Chain A
Amino acid sequence: MENVIEIKNLTHYYGEKKVYENLNFSLKEGRIFGLLGKNGTGKTTTINILTGFLKPKSGSCTIFGEESYRLSPETKSRVGFLIEGHVQYSFMNIIQIEKFYSRFYPNWKKDIYFELMSKLKVNRNQKLSKMSCGQRSQVALGLILAQDPDLLILDDYSMGLDAGYRRLFLDYLKEYSKTEGKTIFVTSHIIQDLDGFLDDAVIMDYNGVVTQVSIQDLKQSFSGFTFKTTEKVQLFKDNIIVNFEQIRNKMTVYSFKNEEEVKTHLSELKVEFSDFAKIHLDLEDSFIGLTGKY
C-alpha cells in the first residue's frame, strides 16, 4: 500500500518555543488515522503544516508525493479539508455553497450532499451563519464528501458538536471510508468517540510522539494493572512501566508487557503489592495511560 502522507524529521518552533523535533510518521492508503494529543502538543501545528498553511522549520511533509506547501491544483482536488470549527462560507446558503464548490471538482457527488442536507431541519435559503454549529458541521461534511477526495483531513471535527452530531459525523465518515476505500486523517479532543473508528493513531505528548500504532495492536499489547501497595512507594517510568498513577495506597501501572512481566518487575523493584488485577482499557484509557492525566 502506498503512503498517502509522509512526515519525516519534522521540526517546528514558534519563536524560541519548541513545538516538536524530528516528528516522523506515515499514513497508508485506505486507513483511518488519528492524531491524538493533549492541547498544546502540536496537533493544529501538524495540520497546518500538512495542509500547506505553515512552513516547518525543518523536515519534510508530503501528500501524494508532493510537498504539502506546494500542492498542485490536481493534488488539492484529491484532498478534502475540514477546518477546525467547520469554517465555511457562512454568507452563503445550502444551495449557493453547493453550486459554488461543484464547479471545482470533476467527480462532484451532488446526491451525497443533498442526502445529508435533507436530514437538517433548515430552510434551503437559510444562510450558514444562521445555522447551529451542528448544522454547519453537516454542511461542511456534505461538501467534503461530495468532493469525493481520496484523502480527508479533518481538524477537530468534534469542536462544538453535541453527542448526536458527533456520532452522525463519524458514522457517515466510516461508511464512506470503508465503502470507497478513502484515507482519513483526523484530530479530535474527544478521544472516546474515536474508539472503534480509527485504524491507526499517532499519540503525541509535550515532547513529541509517544507512539505510532495500529489501534488493534494498542488494544492487544497495552495494558493497565491495579494493585494495592504502601503509600510510601516510589515508582519511576522505565522500559517496563510506561506510566503510573497512585491515589493513596491504590496504584495503577500502564505497560506494553504482560501481567507476569510486570509482576516480576515490581518484585525486582521491591514494591509490595496485593490485589493485583488487569484492567480493561478503551482508547481513552490507553491515551491517558500513555500520556498521563496532566
Chain B
Amino acid sequence: MLLSLAYKEWIKIRWAYLVSLAIGLGIILSIFLNLRLLVEFNSLKELWNYIIFKNYLFYSQFRFIPLLIGLILGIAQFVPEIQNLRLKLALHLPIEETKTLFFMVFYGFALLTAIFLFFYLILVSISSSYFPPDITNTIFITLLPWYTAGYAVYFFASVIIIEQIWVRRISISLFAVLLISQFFHTMNHNAYIKIIIPIFLFVILLSTLIITSGYRFKRGLR
C-alpha cells in the first residue's frame, strides 16, 4: 500500500522535481563556469588565499536554491491535495490516517535528501578538482544550514497548505519566516558548526506538525 502511495506522490510531483533538478544543475553549471574564469585569471594560490582569509565561497550562488526547491516541492505535493479538498481521498484509503500523512511528508523528505545529496556530490567534485581537501571538507557543514532551510520550508509548506484555519496559517507562516531567516545570517565557512545539528534535529521534528493540520482537516475545522 505504501508503494502505491509513493507511486501517486511521484506522479503528482515528478515535473516539479525535474524542474527543481534543472534549476539546481543550472546554478551549479554557472558556479562551475565562474570558477573556471577565476582560475584562468588568477593563480590557484591567490584563489585559495582569497577563500581562506576573505571567506570567499565559490558556491554562494547556491545559497537559496535548497530553500527554493523545498518550497517548490511542498507546493507541488500539497496544493493538489487541498484543491477540491482532495485530501479526503487519501484519508479515506484503508490505511491509518496518521500513517498516510507521515508517509507523504517522509516521501518528500526522501526526495529532497536525494536531490540535496546529488548537488552536494557535484559541488564536492568541482571543489576537489581545484582546491585542497581542507577547503572541500567545509562544503558539507556550510551547506547544511541552507539544506536545513530547504527542509524547514518544505515541512512548513505542508502544514500551512493543509491547515484550513487562516489565523493558524498566518501564525505558522510568521514563525516559519522567523526561523528560516536564521539560516542566512552569515555565509562564513563553518559558521553554524556548533549549533547546526540541534537545529537540524529540531527542523526534522517539524515534520510531525502535519498531523495537527491533518487532524483539523479531518474534523472539518475551517
Contacts and interface: CB of A to CB of B under 8 A. Distances in A.
Interface in B83-130: 84-86, 88-89, 91-96
Contacts of B11: 89, 91-92, 96
Contact of B88 (A51, A73, A74, A101): A51
A20 interface: no
A56 to B, nearest CB: 9
B10 to A, nearest CB: 10
Size class of the contact patch on chain A: 20 to 34
A53 interface: yes
Given A48-B220, A89-B8, A53 B88 contact: yes
B84 A85 contact: yes
Contacts of B1: 103-104
Contact of A100 (B7, B91, B218): B7
A87 B85 contact: yes
A269 B96 CA distance: 62
A76 B89 contact: no
A105 interface: yes
A83 interface: yes
Contacts of B26: none
Nearest to A78: B94
Interface string A88-114: 111110001001110111000000000
A8 B11 CA distance: 42
B219 A55 contact: yes
Interface in A194-215: none
Decide if the interface of chain B is mainly helix, strand, loop or mixed: helix
Interface string B192-222: 0000000000000000000000000111100
B63 interface: no
B218 A53 contact: yes
A73 B97 CA distance: 9
B94 A54 contact: no
A136 to B, nearest CB: 11
6 contacts: A51-B92, A55-B220, A73-B95, A83-B86, A87-B84, A103-B3
Interface of A: 48, 51-55, 69, 73-74, 76-77, 79, 81, 83, 85, 87-92, 96, 99-101, 103-105
Interface of B: 1, 3-4, 7-8, 11-12, 80, 84-86, 88-89, 91-96, 217-220
Across chains A and B, which 8 residue pairs bring their CB atoms closest together, nearest first?
A54-B220, A77-B94, A73-B94, A103-B4, A87-B84, A55-B219, A76-B94, A100-B8
Given A53-B91, A103-B3, 11 more contacts: A48-B220, A53-B220, A74-B94, A81-B92, A83-B84, A88-B89, A89-B8, A96-B11, A99-B7, A103-B1, A104-B4
